[in-house]
Amino acid sequence: MYLTEVENNFLENLEYQISLKVESYKTFKRIPVFTDQVMQFDKSVVNLTEKFEKIRLRDKYHIIITELDNLIKNSKSK
């Protein structure tokens, strides 16, 4: 279950970064440079989340396909 541990660590880190963003945004929202950086960070978080979800979905599809292949092989061998 190493992948689950990596996923959990990633999600914990992501939640921590989001909480930091919320705190810092309140402080720096009036400074244009920081506002731009926060917006870029938002985009990065969204992109990382989407990428992570695609990887998880791909892994789930792979498991389903593998199980279906096994069922087909078992049914043909009978």
pLDDT for position 45:
86
Asked whether the predicted pLDDT for residue 12 surpasses 60, the reply is yes
| Contact indicator for 73, 66 with CB cutoff of 8 Å | no
pLDDT for position 62:
93
| Contact indicator for 13, 34 with CB cutoff of 8 Å | no
Mean pLDDT of 5-16: 82
Helix (H, G, I), strand (E, B) or coil at 45: helix
Residue found under tokens 């078992």: 74
Tell me the pLDDT tens digit for each residue of 29-67: 666 777 777 778 888 888 888 988 898 899 999 999 999
Helix (H, G, I), strand (E, B) or coil at 16: helix
pLDDT for position 71:
92
Residue found under tokens 């939640």: 15
